[in-house]
Amino acid sequence: MFVSHLSCPKCRATYEPNRKIQLCTCGSPLLVAYDLKKTEKALKKDSLPQRRNDLWRYRELLPVRDFKNIVTLGEGMTPLIRLRNIGGEMDLPHLYLKDEGIIPTGTFKARGAAVGVSMAKELGVKALAMPTNGNAGGAWALYCAAAGIQAVIVMPKDAPPIPRKECVIAGASLYLVNGLISDAGRIVGRAVTDRGLYDASTLKEPYRIEGKKTMGLEIAEQFGWDVPEVILYPTGGGVGIIGIYKALQELQEIGWIGSRMPRLVAVQASGCAPVVSAWQAKKTESVFWENSATVAFGINVPKALGDFLVLDAVYATNGCAVAVTDEDILNTQAYLGRREGLFVCPEGAATLAAARRLVREGWIEKNERVVLLNTGTGLKYPDSVDAEPPVLQPGDAIER
């Protein structure tokens, strides 16, 4: 609504909005810039409680011009759940989990799909293509179906089965590759060139991040515009952590929050930790992670296009990057289920595993407000839980 231009965070080139565009000529992702002075005049805090209870309540900070182009399944405004049992055991009384597992498609990917597909519709896109580790493909396929846009999805053959079924039920053209998301990306790149498809790969269009940033807007609103001290985010492509940081910067500029930023923590799996390795070496970009593998399939990204933006967000907020083992992830997933009644995805469990380490190390202090991002429901990952209960015959007694 108040988009002023598209901006390159590397070379500072600018582009006119409202036309099909992918990357900057220098190869960097582009970010949406707003006329925040106009936004400040048009958007008032006291108007929000009367608005729809989804991410479109922040429409002045989103890029869609014509509301007829909005494609929505009711995404956004997910709960901020206080983890009283686990927080008590950790001596961390202000521990929260933002549960993205309850929104359409069961993951936070619905946010990026809602805004990305809405903008694709506004731009006149008829067919798009993307590589995915699973959940983004499922989400974009379903939102494309609602928008009347053909989706071409390529994912690793080892991706979880449920996102595949989402693609099939949505009528997308689904392909599996014997490899990683990076291999899927190369196949999509050739299809984009050969068939003239719109490239919806992570950060190769500017609008997915605008949907993801609404997590940051919601967290700020849910804390009464007094942001928490720490936010932990499971990081693969990193669009969420980039988006949260962007949202908070915009809120600062319109005067809705103060100068203090939450410390942002990028959480990765030890089997695929390129951002963690770069942060430990004080680098501004990561190196391709060879032979990556983790049970947290959504963060199995050997090299993210926007890694420099993730690292910038971490450095600028005095945050850090942490890698946790697959064993710790699965144990923590079970721990959250037993102690809080939450069935989170492995990626979400990774954030609690990282928080526990940071508390032990003293990096997180017990009086601080800490938010974990659970990016999806555990129901999307049935194989992450080993469930083999005993089988009874009629007339058998239950043994204690």
Write the DSSP assignment of 42-93 as a string of letters.
Answer: H--GGGGGGS-SSGGGGGGGS--SSGGG---SS-----EEE-HHHHHHTT-T
What global pTM score does this model have?
A: 0.95
Do 2 and 60 form a contact (C-beta atoms < 8 A)? yes
Each domain of the chain, given as residue ranges in start order, spans 80-106+209-384
Structure tokens at 99: 């549960």
* CA-to-CA dists, residue 130 to 149, 190, 358, angstroms: 13, 11, 35
Q: Which residues, in sequence order, are bridge partners of residue 174? A: 153
pLDDT tens for the chain, 400 residues: list them.
Answer: 799 999 999 999 999 998 899 999 999 999 999 999 999 999 999 999 999 999 999 999 999 999 999 999 999 999 999 999 999 999 999 999 999 999 999 999 999 999 999 999 999 999 999 999 999 999 999 999 999 999 999 999 998 899 999 999 999 999 999 998 999 999 999 999 999 999 999 999 999 999 999 999 999 999 999 999 999 999 999 999 999 999 999 999 999 999 999 999 999 999 999 999 999 999 999 999 999 999 999 999 999 999 999 999 999 999 999 999 999 999 999 999 999 999 999 999 999 999 999 999 999 999 999 999 999 999 999 888 887 888 999 989 887 6
Do 62 and 1 form a contact (C-beta atoms < 8 A)? yes
Smallest CA-to-CA distance from 347 within 165, 153, 99, 164 is with 99
CATH number of the domain at 80-106+209-384, please? 3.40.50.1100
In one-letter notation, the amino acid at residue 48 is L
